[in-house]
Chains A and B, each alone.
Chain A
Amino acid sequence: ETGVTQTPRHLVMGMTNKKSLKCEQHLGHNAMYWYKQSAKKPLELMFVYSLEERVENNSVPSRFSPECPNSSHLFLHLHTLQPEDSALYLCASSQQLIGTEFPSVFGPGTRLTVT
């Protein structure tokens, strides 16, 4: 157990479904992230919530929408996905301080398959 948990671990959904991925961190960190890992591609940062600021990768389609109700919880809402969205979705958290660097701690990931 790394201190960052993700549910579900595996998800199969049709293109018309709506589902949500959940991430929870128990480390007292102040920043949370969603990454997408597709086969044979580098990890791609999708969204960052940090110090009440949200940063998003402009290439992420609107069918992905994040929600961060507090510093410990992060959701990724999915709707009308495409087969190419099948990937491993990794959540991470870190402690961010100005001028200081701390490593991100990752969760185990959700393996998503879109049929």
Chain B
Amino acid sequence: QQQVKQSPQSLIVQKGGISIINCAYENTAFDYFPWYQQFPGKGPALLIAIRPDVSEKKEGRFTISFNKSAKQFSLHIMDSQPGDSATYFCAAPNNAGNMLTFGGGTRLMVKP
């Protein structure tokens, strides 16, 4: 059974700062690691995903860094904005590749 450990549980960042959320997974035969973003009252939505044939993927202010040997990946939000305030979930596929196991979530608050 896949386990995904996410930290921190909550994070407060000043506007313009960098938000960093970390995840560690146990084992997977598959090669994609998504991050989901959830605003209050909404379901989670895919934010960005990485395949571990690359060590980093950047989309705008959001960057995923991946360390395959350490089985860790992280989300960096550059120039954090109040509109980024949300809960973020990392996920890893199970060994069959048909389900995702989600981390415990990080509640991010970006102060103006």
Q: Does A pair with B?
A: no
Which residues of A come within 8 Å of B, CB atoms? Answer: none
Which residues of B come within 8 Å of A, CB atoms? Answer: none
